[in-house]
Chains A and B, each alone.
Chain A
Amino acid sequence: MPNSGQDRLRRHPILSCPEPDLVPFGFDGRILYGRAGEMVSSALFANGVQVFGHHEKDSSAQGMFCANGQCSQCTLIIDGIPLKSCIVPLREGMDVRSVEGIPRLEDRPGPRVPSPAHRTVDALIIGAGPAGLAAAIELGKAGASVIVADDKDRPGGKLVLQTHKFFGSEEDCYAGTRGIDIAGILATELQAFPSVEVWLETVALAVYSDGRVCLRRPGGLFMIEPRSLLTAAGARERSLVFPGNTLAGVYGAGAFQTLVNRDLVRCAERIFVVGGGNVGLIAAYHAIQAGMTVVGLAEALDCCSGYKVHADKIRRLGVPIYTRHSVVAAHGSERLEAVTIAGVDDSFSPVPGTETTFAVDTLLIAVGLESVREFHEKALAFGMRSYVAGDAEEIAEASAAMFTGRIRGMEMACDLGLCFEQVPPDWGRKAEILKSPGGEVFPYEVPREREGVFPVLHCTQEIPCNPCMTSCPKDLIRSAGDPILGIPVYDGGCIGCERCVAICPGLAVTLVDFRKSSDRPVVTVPYELGTWSLRAPGQEMVVTDWEGEVLGSGLLRDVRQVPGGRRTVLLRIEVDADIAARVAGVRVQDPADLLPEPLPRQVPVSDLSVVCRCERVTAGEIREHLRAGIRDLNQLKALTRAGFGACGGKTCRPLLRRLIREEGIPAEEITDLTERPLFAETRLGMFSGTLEGESEDVRS
């Protein structure tokens, strides 16, 4: 039975996991099974394969890093052609081979496509994520002819990975609704506008000085001449420099979310996360939702930079957060076996003697995002009418991306002379609010009442979020400050409807009910993990305070599904009156499973860390040249090959900047790399197009 032995999610608290319809394909001469249409890389992960080949320079194992079509680490030989496997859908009978050294170029027919076709449109939008779709809707309302191009096989961008409920405000950006559902809402809304075309599996290759943008579609190339261009291409994940950073099993938190939440692959058992921004915190949460163990999360700062409610949420489930710690080594010969972390000092250098090693199979890198804005920058340089929105403009939450996308769409329509509606004057300020990172943390207090029913708001940080206020049917929760940003305050009069508990994206509202018992009240706690293992009534549960300190235990009385299908369940837990108001969640991970190895493993010297993954250039080589006085990164590239590889410097560029900073070299002494097309490698035959008539389906 091909289905047995597959590493796939069988059930998930939020996502439905239909029995996969598997088809056979070849991998290095073996027959494996995958889901038709899933990305080839995901099919291999589902078969337990994470090593995709070996580098010609040092025979090091190559695995996936971004799962986002950016980094090229997942290249496999697919039907004879080396392709990025994370954007190639699996077909029955495909011949997939690992890349061992430099691939061979065989004599085989090239892509059957026509010559590049030319089109003129009012607006070309690169990226069908939250910003791109929101902009397209506004341009559609104005009747503009629009092409929205996206390299994925479905619209939504990163929304399709986001199983959590959104922050922001219900009015502006669907707060309280899950990202996966918002993707569908936007895509459906867009269908009402016949002048807008969404081109999927379409990769933007170049923005040229003659005003044309080259797009690669499965059927051939297009040279689009847009009257205006919007770059809404999102962001790519940053990497981190430490020995072992390219082992198979070390990859981006976004890549992980893609594997798990989009492709339903059970790609890991034991995970460590580096980086306490929202991406890392949410990835840890998603891992637990998928039934994996999160051994810990390291954050170099004193506290996580992500929202406090996200950090508290995973602490309550039992994830240790190691602040002022970073990863100093990943261990293993090909696959990751363990990770060593260490405390860091004020300059973020590891403190010797503080190393701790954890056995894990997966390390998620969540150390920040880099805007994808090369298209916008080229367009500006060539004098085109160019706009940018969402993460491509500024890294923030998807709620903000949707809002800035809307604004940009309206601005573009007006600039094209198709003004449908002016941007309301207060939207600029609102966009800034939605982009806010976590702000000030106010003192935490819980109510002292021992009677009646009331909500407890375990939310003391200013973040752009207000669904608890807008969902209360009695209007009993108000903001202590700005209507979206301010922390919520409860004024009394609760009727116990539990809506605020169910909608809170941070799972930071509980309801305490003393009405039936004054010494054993019932606390309603939101819960987004699988309910299949819960036994109600009667199961004993470990309850914690807001930051994960264990308060004691409680008895599960019942499990209530939330009306409206938001897929949060409400656990009603009977606890002692003394702790009731402080109960904020339940612990699910057993601390005994999260212990480090008895002794730390030896950490290799940091000069061996890889900076340029494509060309296997180490930090040591880069430092040597910087110390010899090299300041022009183009010269550095010529000398080391860093940036010459398949990804075009997308991964190593931010790392180079970091090394330069660490060396104490002022940024103004540095000449940056010159960017050149193509922004994604493409077969020469796609440009030679001699075909008349029917084209085949090609993806490179």
Chain B
Amino acid sequence: MSAHDIAVLGAGSVGVPIALSLAEAGQSVICIDSAPSPGQGNNKCAIGGIRATHSEPAKVAICLDSIEIFSGWKDLHGDDIEWRQGGYTYVAYDEPTASLLRGMVPAQKASGLGIDFVTPEAITALVRGIRRDGLIGGTYSPGDGSASPMRSCHAFYARARSLGVDFRFGETVTALDASDSSISSVRTDKGAYAAGCFVNCCGSQAADVGRLVGLDLPIFPDCHEAGVTEPVERFMEPMVVDIRKAPGSANYYFFQFATGQIVFCITPDPPIPGTSVSETSEFLPMVAPRMVALLPRLANIKVRRTWRGSYPQTPDGSPIVGRAGPENHLLAVGMCGQGFMLGPGAGRLVARLITESLTERDRETLEALRLDRNFGAEEALK
């Protein structure tokens, strides 16, 4: 049986950057996934938005780290991951939304985020053609951006491999063998691997893998559909998020990708529990009227493709990161649909945790993301 310092379970948005950060920190890593190649679960379903604009300071901290990695990747490593710093704007067309967004700005700034509540004129300059009628203003965080989830995941994977990470694809985890209070090895349908430490990064399957070590993880995946259009000349910069509710849906959001396509997604309300990736006839008729009402020129852009993925939700909208269960077992799970943007920052955090080089801020972040926290208050910008 081959032995590694760390076994990372899952090679998606979270597992791959964690494996990379651990390899960068000099650890020997094995990374196991049931898919045939990296990022074939929810990573490729992500639309690519990357923001530090959250209301939970722990998420702000992780995502600021992520943005540093995404934004510097091409210069440092050469691969074009289609990073684009277009910012995020949360728009307000009614007073309750405006005051909610305004109210969060001071705390967000205190977490280190560059964000302001800006005028309607500023928003119309950023998103040409957006409905001016009724627009009160919105937050704008120019440091946020977007990248290609698939290209990013592959770039992280290629670098991790070059640093010696042993990737095993097409292998499904079936058991974690524990002796006393620690895990000795992970078994898959094809083999068994010993390691000193085990990290669950299993996305929508995280709760199933948690049960293998007796943990009952509060992770409840729900289904979201997304779409992409034909590419058009650039006419908008930031991700636009409209957090109002409408019959059948909560928030929806869209942005113009680096290569010109509009990528969009909506949150069904009530949520649709499960991990189905089968497309439904409900999605486009639900999202189209809202997008077209907000930005009328989108009526004439052609939808190219739609798909469905799942958000491994936690009760409060924040992930679970840190040690839990057996002493050599860690969690980086429950990313609530934000695994792509949280992954690289979470990778560094987990690497610092394992190599015992945590900062004071890391300790606060991990404290907020403990499994045994009180999941009472929901993240406002979930």
Q: Which residues of A are in contact with B by a Cβ distance under 8 Å? A: 56, 80-82, 102-111, 115-116, 206, 208-210, 212, 214, 223, 381-382, 630-632, 634-635, 638-639, 646, 648, 671, 676-678, 681-690, 700
Chain B residues in 8 Å Cβ range of A382: 278
Question: What's the least CB distance linking B160 to chain A, in Å?
Answer: 15
- A108→B302 contact, CB < 8 A: no
- A209→B279 contact, CB < 8 A: yes
Tell me which residues from 246 to 275 in chain B have a Cβ below 8 Å from any Cβ of chain A.
260
- B302→A681 contact, CB < 8 A: yes
- A687→B232 contact, CB < 8 A: no
Bound Cα distance from A676 to B308, whole angstroms: 9
Question: What's the least CB distance linking B361 to chain A, in Å?
Answer: 34
Q: Check B75 for interface membership: any CB of A closer than 8 A.
A: no
Chain B residues in 8 Å Cβ range of A116: 285
Q: How many residues of B contact A (CB 8 A)?
A: 45
Question: What's the least CB distance linking A209 to chain B, in Å?
Answer: 3
- A681→B304 contact, CB < 8 A: yes
Bound Cα distance from A80 to B301, whole angstroms: 11
Chain A to chain B: the 5 pairs with minimum beta-carbon distance, closest first: A110-B299, A685-B299, A638-B150, A209-B278, A687-B288
- B276→A683 contact, CB < 8 A: no
Bound Cα distance from A107 to B307, whole angstroms: 27
Q: A104-B235, A681-B302, A687-B288 are in contact. List 7 more A-B contacts (CB 8 A).
A: A102-B232, A116-B285, A631-B37, A685-B298, A685-B299, A687-B287, A688-B285
Of A223, A634, A686, A689, which is within 8 A of B281 by CB?
A223
Bound Cα distance from A111 to B231, whole angstroms: 19
Bound Cα distance from A682 to B40, whole angstroms: 26
Tell me which residues from 324 to 374 in chain B have a Cβ below 8 Å from any Cβ of chain A.
none
Chain A residues in 8 Å Cβ range of B302: 82, 681-684, 700
- B304→A678 contact, CB < 8 A: yes
CB nearest to A645 among chain B residues: B304
Chain A residues in 8 Å Cβ range of B211: none
Chain B residues in 8 Å Cβ range of A689: 285, 289
Chain A residues in 8 Å Cβ range of B289: 687-690
Chain B residues in 8 Å Cβ range of A223: 281
Of A638, A648, A681, A688, which is within 8 A of B154 by CB?
A638
Chain B residues in 8 Å Cβ range of A106: 297, 300
- A105→B232 contact, CB < 8 A: yes
CB nearest to A209 among chain B residues: B278
Q: Check B317 for interface membership: any CB of A closer than 8 A.
A: no
Q: Check B233 for interface membership: any CB of A closer than 8 A.
A: yes
Question: What's the least CB distance linking B33 to chain A, in Å?
Answer: 11
- A683→B301 contact, CB < 8 A: yes
Question: What's the least CB distance linking A700 to chain B, in Å?
Answer: 6
CB nearest to A670 among chain B residues: B36
Chain A residues in 8 Å Cβ range of B230: 82, 103, 646, 681
CB nearest to B228 among chain A residues: A644
Q: Check B382 for interface membership: any CB of A closer than 8 A.
A: no
Chain B residues in 8 Å Cβ range of A56: 231
Most central of A56, A646, A684, A689 by chain B CB within 10 Å = A684
Chain B residues in 8 Å Cβ range of A631: 36-37
Bound Cα distance from A210 to B284, whole angstroms: 14
Bound Cα distance from A328 to B301, whole angstroms: 38
Bound Cα distance from A381 to B37, whole angstroms: 23
Question: What's the least CB distance linking A78 to chain B, in Å?
Answer: 12
- B299→A111 contact, CB < 8 A: yes
Question: What's the least CB distance linking B40 to chain A, in Å?
Answer: 6
Bound Cα distance from A488 to B287, whole angstroms: 63
Chain B residues in 8 Å Cβ range of A115: 285
Of B35, B36, B148, which is within 8 A of A638 by CB?
B148
- B36→A632 contact, CB < 8 A: yes
Chain B residues in 8 Å Cβ range of A671: 36-37
Of B148, B281, B303, B306, which is within 8 A of A212 by CB?
B281
Chain A residues in 8 Å Cβ range of B44: 634, 638
Question: What's the least CB distance linking A432 to chain B, in Å?
Answer: 35
Chain A residues in 8 Å Cβ range of B276: 209
- A681→B151 contact, CB < 8 A: no
Question: What's the least CB distance linking B81 to chain A, in Å?
Answer: 11
Q: Check B72 for interface membership: any CB of A closer than 8 A.
A: no
Of B232, B280, B282, B284, which is within 8 A of A104 by CB?
B232
Question: What's the least CB distance linking B30 to chain A, in Å?
Answer: 18
- A688→B301 contact, CB < 8 A: no
Q: Check B34 for interface membership: any CB of A closer than 8 A.
A: no
Tell me which residues from 113 to 156 in chain B have a Cβ below 8 Å from any Cβ of chain A.
129, 148, 150-151, 154
Chain B residues in 8 Å Cβ range of A646: 230, 304
Question: What's the least CB distance linking B150 to chain A, in Å?
Answer: 3
Bound Cα distance from A683 to B288, whole angstroms: 10
Bound Cα distance from A138 to B334, whole angstroms: 54
- B296→A682 contact, CB < 8 A: no
Tell me which residues from 20 to 48 in chain B have a Cβ below 8 Å from any Cβ of chain A.
35-40, 44
CB nearest to A634 among chain B residues: B40
- B297→A105 contact, CB < 8 A: yes
Chain B residues in 8 Å Cβ range of A111: 299-300
Question: What's the least CB distance linking B44 to chain A, in Å?
Answer: 7
Bound Cα distance from A522 to B287, whole angstroms: 74
Bound Cα distance from A670 to B333, whole angstroms: 30
Chain B residues in 8 Å Cβ range of A105: 232-233, 235, 297-298, 300-301
- A684→B36 contact, CB < 8 A: no
- A110→B300 contact, CB < 8 A: yes
Chain A residues in 8 Å Cβ range of B287: 687
Given contacts A105-B232, A105-B297, A638-B154, contact A210 B306 (CB under 8 A): no
CB nearest to A700 among chain B residues: B302
Bound Cα distance from A82 to B302, whole angstroms: 9
CB nearest to A111 among chain B residues: B299
Question: What's the least CB distance linking B230 to chain A, in Å?
Answer: 6
- A107→B232 contact, CB < 8 A: no
Question: What's the least CB distance linking A406 to chain B, in Å?
Answer: 31
CB nearest to A83 among chain B residues: B302
Chain B residues in 8 Å Cβ range of A690: 289, 292
Chain B residues in 8 Å Cβ range of A208: 278-281
Of A676, A682, A684, which is within 8 A of B279 by CB?
A676
Bound Cα distance from A210 to B276, whole angstroms: 12
Given contacts A103-B232, A206-B279, contact A108 B301 (CB under 8 A): no
28 contacts between A and B (CB under 8 A): A80-B300, A103-B232, A105-B232, A107-B296, A108-B297, A110-B292, A206-B306, A208-B281, A209-B276, A382-B278, A632-B36, A635-B36, A635-B40, A638-B44, A638-B151, A639-B151, A648-B305, A676-B279, A677-B305, A678-B306, A682-B302, A683-B299, A683-B300, A684-B284, A685-B288, A687-B287, A688-B291, A689-B289
Question: What's the least CB distance linking A54 to chain B, in Å?
Answer: 15
Given contacts A678-B306, A683-B303, A684-B299, contact A209 B232 (CB under 8 A): no
- B278→A681 contact, CB < 8 A: no
Q: Check B229 for interface membership: any CB of A closer than 8 A.
A: yes
Bound Cα distance from A517 to B171, whole angstroms: 84
Bound Cα distance from A646 to B148, whole angstroms: 18
- A110→B296 contact, CB < 8 A: yes
- B282→A210 contact, CB < 8 A: yes
- B299→A688 contact, CB < 8 A: yes
Of B148, B154, B235, B297, which is within 8 A of A635 by CB?
B154
- B39→A684 contact, CB < 8 A: no
Of A214, A630, A678, A685, which is within 8 A of B300 by CB?
A685
Bound Cα distance from A614 to B40, whole angstroms: 23
Chain A residues in 8 Å Cβ range of B231: 56, 102
Chain A residues in 8 Å Cβ range of B36: 631-632, 635, 671
Bound Cα distance from A209 to B279, whole angstroms: 6
Chain A residues in 8 Å Cβ range of B300: 80-81, 105-106, 108, 110-111, 683-685
Given contacts A638-B151, A638-B154, A639-B151, contact A684 B296 (CB under 8 A): no
Bound Cα distance from A631 to B40, whole angstroms: 13
Question: What's the least CB distance linking A134 to chain B, in Å?
Answer: 29
Chain A residues in 8 Å Cβ range of B299: 109-111, 683-685, 688
Given contacts A209-B278, A210-B282, A681-B230, contact A648 B37 (CB under 8 A): no
